[in-house]
Homo-oligomer: A and B are copies of this chain.
Amino acid sequence: MAEQAEVLRRTPLSRDRVLRAAVALADEAGIESLSMRNLAQDLGVVPMALYKHVANKDELLDGMIDVVVGEIDPPVPDTDWKHAIRRRILSARQVLQRHPWAPLAIESRNMATPAVLAYLDSVVGTLRSGGFSADLAHHVMHAMGSRILGFSQELFDASRRAGRSGATDAGPPADLPPEVAARFPHLAEIATAAAHDDESVVGQGCDDQFEFEFALDLLLDGIERLHRQGWTSSHR
């Protein structure tokens, strides 16, 4: 009777199953409730069992990052570098929006994981075959910074607040409270200017996607300009 439940529960653990469960837990409950104990419970197993599949919690996080980065679309061939990279980065952005904990996790690791390296390598490859010198490609990678992985640090990023995935609470707390607005007039002015072409006066904060693409295109246009004029780090 409870036998088949027992069998299910005993589906053998594996590094992959552990990582996927960890990602799911972080997605649903927030990264701050990803503890070895919670994760083990989700898997119907005792905490120490996890250590047979991941060395420690840091390695678990590295593995989770690799899972996430692995979800980014492969590069589309037969396009010019600019569109190829633009599409790839926007795909990365979609992925990271499914895993709001990932940006912070990625940035808190102090060395890139294999999957991240592979992704970066592939982006560089696109640049190189688009005619970029290794020199310029190098600087371009730095210039894009974390944006190349689909995110920029938004400074006031409501959606990344550790808690839930954020889709549910399309909350009201968009504008600044009035006494704050008084102390920071320029910010207030800017915040209200964020009602884009939407006619609703109380536009909910600002359109993250728009801002991301704005910055992305600003960079890509500048990069294209440097590329066309054969920029090198010696000149200028």
Q: Quick check: is A154 within 8 A (CB to CB) of the other chain?
A: yes
| B186 with A155: CB separation less than 8 A | no
Q: Quick check: is A29 within 8 A (CB to CB) of the other chain?
A: no
| A218 with B214: CB separation less than 8 A | no
| A211 with B139: CB separation less than 8 A | yes
Which of A116, A147, A184 has the largest number of chain B CB atoms within 10 A?
A184
A interface residue count range (under 10 / 10 to 19 / 20 to 34 / 35 or more): 35 or more
- Give 1 or 0 for each of A137-180: 1 = CB within 8 Å of chain B CB: 11101111111010011111110111000000000000000001
The interface-forming segment of A1-9, A76-84, A85-93, A120-128 is A120-128
**A155, B218: Cα distance in complex, Å:** 21
Residues of chain A having any CB pair with chain B under 8 Å: 104, 107-108, 110-112, 116-118, 120-122, 124-125, 128, 133-135, 137-139, 141-147, 149, 152-158, 160-162, 180, 183-187, 189-194, 196-197, 206, 210-212, 214-215, 218-219, 221-223, 226, 233-234
Jot down 6 A-B pairs with beta carbons below 8 A, ordered by A.
Answer: A118-B183, A120-B155, A124-B187, A142-B212, A143-B211, A145-B147
